Amino acid sequence: MSYREAPPLCLMIVGDGMADTPLAALGGKTPLQSVRYPHMARLAGQSGVRMASTTPEGFPAGTETAMPLLIGYGTEVLTGRGPVEAAGMGVVLPAGQFAMRVNLVRMDAHDALTEACPELSDAEGLAAGNKLAADGEIQDILGKVGWTLHPQPDFRQLVTGPGESVPDGMTPPHQVLGAALSQYLPAHDTVAAFMRRGRGVLRGDGLGAWPWGAGLVPRYEPFAAKYGRRGAVISAVPVVRGMARLAGMDAPEVPGATGTLHTNWRGKADAVLAAALAGYGFVMLHVEAPDDCSHALDLQGKQQAIALLDEAIGWLRQGLAGHPYRMVLLPDHVTSTDTGRHGAQPVPWCVFDSRSPEGCPTRYAERGDVPVEPYTAPLRVLLGLQD
């Protein structure tokens, strides 16, 4: 069966952090290896399960690394997470600026990090961001170097500044849960002073401010010019929507899409169908829930998230009946539900073409007995650029 000549509609379904490591709780199997999800099995039944490496050496395993590569860009656009998130938040940065993500993190009475990505309401997030921005000492710390804090209705906050002074030496908070603030103050004076004072300002709320992921705004060649297709990305997560916008794609917001298990699954599937029927030639559905559950070491939640994604794939197939399409399914990276950490191991992927006969359903899961392909393979196969 040849996969050349892609149909007008190509879909990429991304279960964030869906791949896992062998878990003791599952007898040494991963969540995907322990359950056969029916709709995923039908996709995998046609192509078989292939493996791809989505984290090049020297880059951190995570969505901010894998996703730009999976939509067809090279490592030159990987300048850090902040600029991509700024675009996702709708903050337009002039050329030559840097942007840096700041997590509102939960901390205990001893200033130890207990939650890296707390579920804050819009109002709670914005109130904390505004408190930081209104504090005279913080204004002083940031003002001296020309940096600006942009309060956001979320645990994700943003700081931007001139590109001559991109700060470094920061540790992503989800990698150091349990650590004390003082252990991870970077050598960079401004960042360290901001973290110390930010904790002081937010102590009464049980929160702190944890910057990371600073980088210069990257330049993307528009996806439509590069691949001849208009692109749309359906995701609740700013880093994914921002990457889509930097690549010139549309990233409509879906009401009730939260990036957690309690997201609006039906609404997201409907948004994918709406984009598909509106003539976009490349449509991505990205769901954050599997990654989110792994970070929380919530195995049952992760299994439920995968089952819900499987159900959504069923809705998509139903909604697209009669339209020729090709669909790729994959995680962007591994997230271990044992450690709550991202991993750079290869991920399983498969491709389904509605114009080809279905094969026998096959479990869609990590496997070690097939060659590992480069990160370019899933998109190139999807778009008919290679087999």
The residue ranges that bind Zn ion (CB under 5 A) are 291
In the complex with Zn ion, the residue whose CB is nearer, 85 or 353, is 85
Give residue number: closest CB to Zn ion.
Answer: 291
Contact at 8 Å (CB) between 221 and 231? no
Q: How buried is 307 (Cβ within 10 angstroms: 0-12 exposed, 13-18 middle, 19+ buried)?
A: middle
Q: Report which residue type is found at 214.
A: A
Nearest-CA neighbor of 307 among 24, 41, 25?
41
In the complex with Zn ion, the residue whose CB is nearer, 50 or 342, is 342
Q: Report which residue type is found at 313.
A: I
Q: What is the CA radius of gyration of the chain?
A: 21
**Least distance CB 10 / Zn ion (angstroms):** 25
In the complex with Zn ion, the residue whose CB is nearer, 139 or 175, is 175
**Least distance CB 274 / Zn ion (angstroms):** 27
List residues bridging with 100 in a β-sheet. Answer: 159
In the complex with Zn ion, the residue whose CB is nearer, 174 or 229, is 174
**Least distance CB 16 / Zn ion (angstroms):** 7
**Least distance CB 295 / Zn ion (angstroms):** 6
In the complex with Zn ion, the residue whose CB is nearer, 20 or 291, is 291
Contact at 8 Å (CB) between 346 and 53? yes
In the complex with Zn ion, the residue whose CB is nearer, 97 or 335, is 335
Q: What is the DSSP string of 121-158?
A: -HHHHHHHHHHHHH-HHHHHHHHTTT-EEE--SSSEEE
Q: What share of the chain is helix, strand, coil (3-state, %, to 5)?
A: 35, 20, 40
**Least distance CB 117 / Zn ion (angstroms):** 8
Q: How many CB atoms lie within 10 A of CB 380?
A: 17
